[in-house]
Structure 1
Amino acid sequence: MYQTKTLKEKINLFIFIFFPILITQVSLNLMNFFDTVMSGRAGAQDLAGVAIGSSIWLPVFTGINGILLAITPIIAHLLGANSKDSITTKVQQAIYLSIGLGIIIILLGFILLNPILNIMDLESEVRHIAKYYLITLGTGIIPLFIFNTLRCFMDALGQTRTSMFIILVALPINVVLNYIFIFGKLGLPAMGGIGAGIATAMTYVITTIFAFIILLRMKPFHQYQLLSNWVKPKFSDWVEQLKIGIPIGFAIFFETSIFAAVTLLMSAYSTNTIAAHQAAMNFTSLLYMIPLSVGIALTITVGFEVGAKRMHDAKVYGYIGLSGGIFIALFNGVILFLFRDFVASLYNNDPEVVALTVQFIGFAIVYQLADAFGAPIQGALRGYKDVNMTLIIALISYWVIGLPTGWILANFTTLEPFGYWVGIIVGLSFGAIFLLIRLVLIQRRYQIQQNSSAN
Structure 2
Amino acid sequence: MLGHTVVALVDNIMVGQLGTAELAAVSLGNSFMFVAMSLGIGFSTAITPLVAEADAEGNFEKGKSSFKHGLFLCIVLSVLLAATVFIAKPVMYTMKQPPEVVELAMPYLTLVTVSLIPLIIFQAFKQFSDGMSLTRYPMYATVLANLVNVLLNYMFIFGKWGAPELGVVGAAIGTLVSRVIMVLYLWYLLYKKEKSRPFVIGIKLFTLSKVMLKKVVNLGFPSALQMFFEVAIFTAAIWLSGILGKNPQAANQIALNLSSMTFMVAMGFSVVAMIRVGNQKGLKRFEDLRRIAFSIFLLSFLCAVVFALMFLIFNTAFPKMYLDYDNPLEFKNNAEVVSIAAQLLLVSAIFQITDTIQVVALGTLRGMQDVKIPTIITFIAYWAIGFPIMYYLGLFTDYGSTGIWLGLLAGLTVSGILLFIRFNYLSKRLILSQSK
Normalised by the shorter chain, which TM-score bucket? Answer: over 0.9
**1:37-436 matched pairs, under 5 angstroms:** 37-114=13-90, 116-222=91-197, 224-228=198-202, 230=204, 232-234=206-208, 235-348=210-323, 349=325, 350-436=334-420
Letter in 2 for 1:215: L
Kept in 2: contact 1:42–1:183 (CA 8 A): no
Would the alpha carbon gap of residues 132 and 373 (structure 1) be closer, same or farther in structure 2, given more than 3 Å must change?
A: same
Using the alignment, how far apart are the partners of 2:123 and 2:154 within structure 1? 25
SS state at 1:158 partner: coil
Letter in 2 for 1:193: V
Matched, 1:441 2:411: no
Using the alignment, how far apart are the partners of 1:236 and 1:127 within structure 2? 45
Letter in 1 for 2:267: L
SS state at 2:200 partner: coil
Pick the aligned partner of 2:9 from 30, 33, 54.
Answer: 33
Residue-by-residue CA offset, 1:196-240 (whole Å, 9 max, x unaligned)? 111101111001110121222222212x24222525242432221
Identity of aligned residues (%): 28
Using the alignment, how far apart are the partners of 1:159 and 1:237 within structure 2? 23
TM-score normalised to structure 1 length = 0.91
Kept in 2: contact 1:53–1:131 (CA 8 A): yes
Kept in 2: contact 1:89–1:231 (CA 8 A): no
Residue-by-residue CA offset, 1:14-59 (whole Å, 9 max, x unaligned)? xxxxxxxxxxx11221001111111111221110000111122112
Letter in 1 for 2:40: I
Instruction: Give unpaired runs (5+ residues) of structure 2.
Output: 326-333
1:9 aligns with none
Kept in 1: contact 2:320–2:338 (CA 8 A): yes
Using the alignment, how far apart are the partners of 1:305 and 1:210 within structure 2? 30
- CA shift for structure 1 position 186: 3.1
Kept in 1: contact 2:290–2:427 (CA 8 A): yes
SS state at 1:232 partner: coil
Would the alpha carbon gap of residues 411 and 232 (structure 1) be closer, same or farther in structure 2, given more than 3 Å must change?
A: closer
Residue-by-residue CA offset, 1:267-309 (whole Å, 9 max, x unaligned)? 1112111101111111111111121111110000000000111
Residue-by-residue CA offset, 1:292-347 (whole Å, 9 max, x unaligned)? 11111000000000011110111011110111122122111111112222211011
Using the alignment, how far apart are the partners of 1:137 and 1:56 within structure 2? 10
- CA shift for structure 1 position 124: 2.7
Using the alignment, how far apart are the partners of 2:258 and 2:394 within structure 1? 22
Using the alignment, how far apart are the partners of 2:193 and 2:297 within structure 1? 33
Would the alpha carbon gap of residues 52 and 233 (structure 1) be closer, same or farther in structure 2, given more than 3 Å must change?
A: farther
2:328 aligns with none
SS state at 1:50 partner: helix
Single out whichever of 68-77 and 404-413 deviates more from structure 2: 404-413
Letter in 1 for 2:11: D
Residue-by-residue CA offset, 1:75-112 (whole Å, 9 max, x unaligned)? 11112222122222322222211110111112212221
* C-alpha RMSD of the superposition: 1.4
Would the alpha carbon gap of residues 417 and 225 (structure 1) be closer, same or farther in structure 2, given more than 3 Å must change?
A: closer
Kept in 2: contact 1:96–1:233 (CA 8 A): no
Residue-by-residue CA offset, 1:361-399 (whole Å, 9 max, x unaligned)? 111111222101211111111110011111001100000
- CA shift for structure 1 position 433: 0.9
Q: Give the length in aligned residue pairs.
A: 426
Using the alignment, how far apart are the partners of 1:225 and 1:124 within structure 2? 49
- CA shift for structure 1 position 414: 2.1
Kept in 2: contact 1:329–1:373 (CA 8 A): no
Using the alignment, how far apart are the partners of 1:236 and 1:146 within structure 2? 22
Kept in 2: contact 1:306–1:384 (CA 8 A): yes
Residue-by-residue CA offset, 1:220-262 (whole Å, 9 max, x unaligned)? 212x242225252424322211100111110111011101001
1:10 aligns with none
Kept in 2: contact 1:302–1:314 (CA 8 A): yes
SS state at 1:347 partner: coil
TM-score normalised to structure 2 length = 0.94
Would the alpha carbon gap of residues 411 and 127 (structure 1) be closer, same or farther in structure 2, given more than 3 Å must change?
A: closer
- CA shift for structure 1 position 431: 0.8
Single out whichever of 406-415 and 245-254 deviates more from structure 2: 406-415
1:17 aligns with none
Instruction: Give unpaired runs (5+ residues) of structure 1.
Output: 1-24
- CA shift for structure 1 position 264: 0.5
Would the alpha carbon gap of residues 289 and 231 (structure 1) be closer, same or farther in structure 2, given more than 3 Å must change?
A: closer
Using the alignment, how far apart are the partners of 2:359 and 2:394 within structure 1? 27
